[in-house]
Amino acid sequence: MNSTDFYSATKYCPCCAKDVRYLASIEVSYCVECGGEVRLFSAAEWASFSEALAARKPKGGRPSGTRKNTGSRQAA
């Protein structure tokens, strides 16, 4: 990791309503401008991220009929 990446990292601050630099703690990160808790994404970014994940999730259900039935019994 390049040292400039650490100093340019940002998270979303709901109090400031923008991406800000932050101080990281073990469990929570805090905005350097107002001291409020920051999040990784804004509400709009989170909705977009969640939709993208849902689109990649397998639908489930029975498999299509593309595989041939080889049978589970083997001749002894």
pLDDT in tens, 18-65: 999 999 988 999 999 999 999 988 889 989 999 998 888 887 777 766
Give yes or no for residue 13 having a pLDDT over 70. Answer: yes
What per-residue confidence (pLDDT) applies to 11?
Answer: 93
**Cβ 34 vs Cβ 16: under 8 Å:** yes
Q: Which residues contact 21 (CB under 8 A, 6 or more apart)?
A: 7, 9, 10, 32, 33
**For the chain, what are the domain ranges?**
3-43
What are the helix (H) ranges across 1-76? Answer: 3-8, 43-56
- Which residues lie across from 23 on neighbouring strands? 30
